[in-house]
Amino acid sequence: MTKAMLIDLTKCTGCRGCQVACKQWNDLPAEETICWGCYDNPPDLSPDTWNRIAFYEWEEDGQPKWMFRPVRCFHCTDAPCVDVCPTGALYKDAYGFTAYDKSLCNGCGYCTQACPFNIPRLEDLDTVKGLANITGKGKADKCTFCQDRVHNDLMPACATTCATGAIQYGERAEMVALGEARVTELKSNGTPEANLYGKDLLGGLGMMYVLPKSADWLTDLDKEQNKGNAPIPSNPAYKLANFWQKILEPIGIAGVGVALAGLGLNFLIARRSIKLEEEEG
């Protein structure tokens, strides 16, 4: 029953149809952007932009080359953000996606630090009136894989609008097979570095890419061209913050228990002393 999405970057034309569909379906407001020397618009993900198209350009054999990449949550099977979320706001959906209940988010920001792809973003309190939480920051936001659509037998909004068929959605095993077949086709047609990204990473990603070149090459290009700090590392690191969170959370809970027990003991001792004084008086 595990679902997944496959995005073939060799077919994406950068039309931004998926970007607009995401905004429309999730009722996300437009953002004021600036001209920053690139076609990317907006220049980065935000609490109001869960999917954006990154434009890449480079020279190869004396010719200009272009590639376009939809940037959004990868929905890792072993999702670091889920592991560190202290409130259960982030959790694994029955279809395998990394689902999100915003009403449970406390704005701690652990997910933004744990994600190896730099996807979740926190709201700016300056634009969120009446919101208070333990950090003084807003709540997190990210792609939810259109939970309200897929559980009603509808495709994610982005997939319905893709004109070239670059975005495919279905059973994960089918998406893996489709991706591997496409890689074989590309390699036989002059793209020797073609590969399927995400098949086994972090337990298997719920959003995979067909890449024309290696993930490390694309990550380096992403850094070089300042594409919003959205890497796709060949071996995504399970950040140290995750391990500290797993260690400190039970310690913290135990600490609270010890503190409460101590307070209870102090209360009983004080009450006993008062009673003895009354009896002696």
pLDDT of residue 226: 72
Let me know if residue 178 belongs to a domain: yes
Q: How many structural domains does the chain have?
A: 2
List, for residues 93-148, the tens digit of each pLDDT value. Answer: 999 999 999 999 999 999 999 999 999 999 876 554 444 444 556 899 999 999 99
| Domain of residue 275, residue span | 239-281
The answer to the question of residue 54 being in a domain is yes
CATH number of the domain within which 153 lies: 3.30.70.20
Reported as type and span, the H/E element at residue 71 is strand 63-71
pLDDT score for 130: 47
* pLDDT for the residue numbered 95: 95
Q: Is residue 243 part of a domain?
A: yes
Token pair in block for residue 37: 């020397």
pLDDT band at 83 (very low <50, low <70, confident <90, very high): very high
Lowest mean pLDDT among 53-67, 83-97, 229-243, 249-263: 249-263
Residue 212 lies in a domain: yes
Average pLDDT over residues 222-247: 69
Nearest by Cα to 211 from 238, 192, 237 = 192
Closest of 165, 178, 158 to residue 75, by C-alpha: 158
Residue 6 CA to residue 165 CA, distance in Å, equals 10
Q: Is the separation of the CB atoms in 71 and 230 below 8 Å?
A: yes
Predicted confidence at residue 256, as pLDDT, reads 47
pLDDT of res. 261: 57
- What average pLDDT does the chain have? 85
Whether residue 191 is found in the same domain as residue 280: no
Residues 160 and 222 in one domain: yes
pLDDT at 28: 96
Range of weakest confidence among 117-126, 146-155, 197-206, 254-263? 254-263
Model confidence over 139-162: pLDDT tens digits?
999 999 999 999 999 999 999 999
Residue 138 Cα distances to 17, 46, 127, 146, angstroms:
28, 12, 9, 22
* pLDDT above 90 as % of the chain: 65
Same-domain check for residues 232 and 280: no
Indicate whether 68 belongs to any domain.
yes
pLDDT of 213 over the 50 cut: yes
On whether residue 208 sits in a domain, the answer given is yes
Residue type, 255: G
pLDDT tens-digit map of 45-79: 999 999 999 999 999 999 999 999 999 999 999 99
Q: Can you give 235-268 as a three-state secondary structure string?
A: CCCCCHHHHHHHHHHHHHHHHHHHHHHHHHHHHH
Contacts of residues 216-224 at CB distance under 8 Å and 24 or more positions apart, as own/partner, are 217/193, 218/56, 218/69, 221/56, 221/58, 222/54, 222/56
Give CA separation, 82 vs 93, 190, 227, 234, in Å: 11, 40, 25, 21
- Burial status of residue 203 (CB atoms within 10 A of its CB: 0-12, 13-18, 19 or more): exposed
Whether 88 maps to a domain, the answer reads no
Q: How confident is the model at residue 33 (pLDDT cuts 50, 70, 90)?
A: confident
Burial of 165 (0-12, 13-18, 19+ CB in 10 A): exposed
Does pLDDT of 233 surpass 50?
yes
Let me know if residue 18 belongs to a domain: yes
